[in-house]
Amino acid sequence: MPWASLRPLLPGGPEEVERCIGRLRTFASELLRWNQGVSNLVSRDDEPRLIDRHIAESLAGLTVINSLGCKKLLDFGSGGGFPAMPLALAGAGERWTLVESRRNKTLFLRRAVQALGLSHVEVVTGRLEMLADDQLRAVRADAFTSRATLKLGPTLALAARVLPAGGHAILWKGSGVHDEIAAAGEALRNGWSEPVVHALRDSVNAIVVMTRK
């Protein structure tokens, strides 16, 4: 796998970068082992391109998160750990809460968090809309991340329940992002800042960023 391609995406000097790549390799090994022997986390077709399709696209959000000064982040629908795990390993934010409703995936995430010693990452099993009702303090955050989950409108409705005014929604989207922005319509304009779309290099995908009013 082309691990060297991640170096330009990672902060710090050469030693720090190589240390981070080593931790990313450990995470990838755990994910592939689980994917092949326990439960599906990513498509089998994506296994050979795990770096460029999943890890690099996740790390593309690092400069966005750092530039916004996000400290406490909630990742919705974490699945196999993207984008949250690569970002946490690369030093984004100070505290992460990963919310995933499927127990088999949260079991993997907890195993990976333990194996990597990520004391600042918490994994929660449940549906976010219910957690926001019952455990709002636990899931409150100043930034909300999500990759390949719901359409933009429903995602923003969930994000609004856990973000204060000034909080940021940072969403990984596919080629239909502009159609999703248009479809969100009045709800987007009333509750959120104008979307800023960051195109991902060598990809049709993008990261869209909005700030709650």
Domain ranges of the chain: 3-211
Q: pLDDT value at position 185?
A: 87
Q: In the predicted model, what is the mean pLDDT of residues 119-129?
A: 95
Architecture of domain 3-211 in this structure: 3-Layer(aba) Sandwich (3.40)
Q: pLDDT value at position 180?
A: 94
Q: pLDDT value at position 164?
A: 96
Question: Are the CB atoms for 174 and 204 separated by under 8 Å?
Answer: yes
Q: Residue 83: is the preceding peptide bond cis (ω within 30°)?
A: yes
Task: Report whether pLDDT(187) > 80.
Answer: no
Structure tokens at 123: 């994994």
Distance CA 133, CA 210 (A): 23
- Rounded to the nearest integer, the mean pLDDT of the chain is 94
Amino acid at the residue 46: D
Q: In the predicted model, what is the mean pLDDT of residues 157-167?
A: 96
- Supply the pTM of this predicted model: 0.95
Q: pLDDT value at position 44?
A: 85
Cα atoms in the 13 Å half-sphere on the side-chain side of 180: 22
Structure tokens at 107: 């079991």
- Residues 15-45 pLDDT 10s: 999 999 999 999 999 999 999 988 889 888 8
